Structure 1
Amino acid sequence: MAAVLAVVTGCVSTGAGKGPAHGGTHASRPETGTTTMRGITLPSWYRTDYDSPAAPRYLRGIKATGARWVTFTPTWYQKRVTDSAPHTTEETASDASLRRIVQRAHAAGLKVMIKPHVDLPGDADRAEIRPRDRAAWFAAYRRFITHYADLAADTGAEQLAVGTELAGVSGDTTAWTKVIEAVRDHYDGPLTYAANYDEYQHIHFWKDLDLIGIDAYWPLAEKATTDPALLNRAWAPIRQKLAAYSARRHRRILFTEAGYVSQRGTTTAPYSWTVSTHPANAEQAAAYRALLDSFEGRKWWAGVCWWMWDDWPDSGETPARLAYTPRGKPAEEVLRRKWAG
């Protein structure tokens, strides 16, 4: 989701079982062509989040929805949009904690996608990153992403995203091709890139990846609504365009993120944490239902990884009753009926 922090039997990202090894060739991977991701993101905002005592409980809750995948988001930061390199901070999940949470997810029977982020301070939009020295930035980015490619290989993570919503630099196809080649030397699993919903058509390196990734925050309504017919109609032209795009690019499309706050008007601006201060659990649930009703069963659609399960205890800036989490809300029941039922 560019403006915010942020499966038939699995989330396109996470998986159980033995993981890929280093240095292999880009072989055919049936799972990217035959399965649909049922996934939920568990982001981190601090170095030790993934070691939180809440982590096992969160993973159990994710599994209980019927999800088969979980996505983890280690994040590096840069102070200015023009900086030439991202770096770790106290808000970056430690490698040790990331390794442990992947192990816990696998033990819980969940597959894993690692989806590293590069962010800016506060509410600044990572899509605005436009480094003054692009060559230096991409060299630093290759070191950043191959670090997580190694970690994904070592932990057996089932999928890796090579980038997330970096519209300010994603038009540099040659540089991204080199990034992807470097990642392939470190990790043999399926790769995607998480493009924002208004970015994906400007990406020209999909042929080098296994899946087209889209963070699916399309506005669906002009005013607050729980009308399923209206929401389904809103998805229809988007779905048709995506089906055609998938056919042209010869890749399935994964919703690497999709989500809705439980606030009145969330369907008018799904990318916003602050649509209103009025809780709207029914609208959030209706939006969940409409997305799944509109896309499940489409062969070109590779599934969805919902943003997000929950904030860590005492870390959320948005009260849980207004936040993206579906936990304990009607939206969770939608998932349970659709996925676990």
Structure 2
Amino acid sequence: MQTVHGINFAPFSPRGALAGDAVRDELRRMHRLTGADTVIFCPGAVQATPFTETIDFTGAHTTADEELLAITRAAKDLGLRVFWKPTVNCLDGTWRAHISFFDHDVPCEPKWGPWFDGYTAFQTHFAALAQQAGIELLILGCEMTKTEHREEEWRACISSVRSVYDGAVAYNCDKYGEAFVPWWDAVDVMASSGYYPVDAIGENLDRIRPLVEKAAKPFFFAEAGCMRVRGSAQVPNDWTLQGEPDDEEQNRWYQALFAAMETRPWLRGAALWDWPLDAAHDNPYAFSRAPALQTIRSAWNREQK
């Protein structure tokens, strides 16, 4: 697998948001300013709560198929590799890692079976579309921590995806979760969310390396980022952190990330979080108008020479 210099672009965009010239202009701007060689699009599905069996991937919260295909073509025209990461989120704001049900069926309680049926339908829908679009890597979800022990269901889901899609398949576990996915052998690429404290990035990479070598799979960070908020560099995964705006906090974290990555060539890069649309460039994780942008561009320029 070629090293990833990537960005998650406008993740979980609602229907209609990725259509039009303005979005393609923003994609070109992202490419020009960062020097990225890969973009990840994240079509989102929704469920009401972490305990809801039904998943909606056809409504207003999900990018329309034709939009996704069009923005994918635009990215490929720029010379970008395109990965897709279909991801489910909870409408009540609960982080998707908490989606869970009883491990034994109980009458009148929600169950794993119907949920995995819906999740598999969601993933296979986008897998069939990914086959049509020629997507190089399909990432079957992100940070689904409390589902990962359901090995039989995950293997069946991956098998269903492979029945309609012949490209490479990956999964994006949460930070610190790399050792707890019992079905890594079923995917082609391992990925995690690299939101590690600024002074612990290297030690966590060193912790991950033996797992990757044992699995003999490529590994990259499908997400990695830090907010422009004082204190975020120590808890970059905490999107609820409140504090003073601090562009240099974010920049310092990115400098540490790239320094750690440059000495560990077994790590196949990272896809940064994130590049939003329009006024959302003010969101705390965005780096498009911050000093970290130059840090990112400089690091990728060095790596691509």
Corresponding position: 1:150 with 2:128: yes
Q: Secondary structure at the match of 1:49?
A: coil
Per mean C-alpha deviation after superposition, the further-off stretch among 57-66 and 167-176 is: 57-66
Partner of 2:146: 168
Q: Spell out the pairing of 1:192-341 with structure 2 (5 A cutoff).
A: 192-220=170-198, 231=199, 234-296=200-262, 298-310=264-276, 312-314=277-279, 316=280, 320-321=281-282, 323-340=284-301
User: 1:219: how far off?
Assistant: 2.8
CA distance in 2, matches of 1:122, 1:270: 22
Partner of 2:22: 54
**Contact 2:49 / 2:92 at 8 angstroms: preserved in 1?**
no
Partner of 1:86: 55
CA distance in 1, matches of 2:39, 2:97: 24
- Name whichever structure is richer in helix by fraction: 2
User: 1:274: how far off?
Assistant: 3.6
Name the TM-score, length of structure 1 as normaliser. Answer: 0.81
**Contact 2:148 / 2:181 at 8 angstroms: preserved in 1?**
yes
**Contact 2:178 / 2:208 at 8 angstroms: preserved in 1?**
no
User: 1:154: how far off?
Assistant: 0.6
CA distance in 1, matches of 2:170, 2:176: 17
Name the TM-score, length of structure 2 as normaliser. Answer: 0.90
Residue 65 of structure 2, aligned match among 81, 86, 95: 95
5+ residue gaps, structure 1: 1-31, 221-230
CA distance in 2, matches of 1:86, 1:143: 9
CA distance in 2, matches of 1:293, 1:287: 10
**Contact 1:37 / 1:303 at 8 angstroms: preserved in 2?**
yes
User: 1:298: how far off?
Assistant: 2.6
CA distance in 1, matches of 2:205, 2:50: 33
Q: Spell out the pairing of 1:106-145 with structure 2 (5 A cutoff).
A: 106-131=76-101, 132-145=110-123
Q: What do the CA deviations read for 1:202-258 (whole angstroms, capped 9, x no partner)?
A: 1011111111110111233xxxxxxxxxx3xx2232121111111122222210100
Q: Secondary structure at the match of 1:168?
A: helix
User: 1:104: how far off?
Assistant: 0.6
User: 1:120: how far off?
Assistant: 0.3
User: 1:123: how far off?
Assistant: 2.5
Partner of 1:41: 8
**Contact 1:263 / 1:277 at 8 angstroms: preserved in 2?**
yes
Q: What do the CA deviations read for 1:160-204 (whole angstroms, capped 9, x no partner)?
A: 001211112111111111111111111111111010013222101
CA distance in 2, matches of 1:217, 1:239: 11
5+ residue gaps, structure 2: 102-109
CA distance in 2, matches of 1:299, 1:268: 24
Q: 1:204 to 1:340 in 2, by over 3 A?
A: same
CA distance in 1, matches of 2:227, 2:202: 22
Q: Which amino acid aligns with 2:246?
A: A
Partner of 1:67: 36
Aligned residue-pair number: 291
Q: Which amino acid aligns with 2:286?
A: T
**Contact 2:190 / 2:220 at 8 angstroms: preserved in 1?**
yes
Partner of 2:104: none
Q: Which amino acid aligns with 2:67?
A: S
Q: Which amino acid aligns with 2:94?
A: A
CA distance in 2, matches of 1:85, 1:109: 37
Identity value in percent: 28
Residue 167 of structure 2, aligned match among 189, 193, 215: 189
Q: 1:187 to 1:37 in 2, by over 3 A?
A: same
Q: Which amino acid aligns with 1:79?
A: A
Corresponding position: 1:76 with 2:42: no
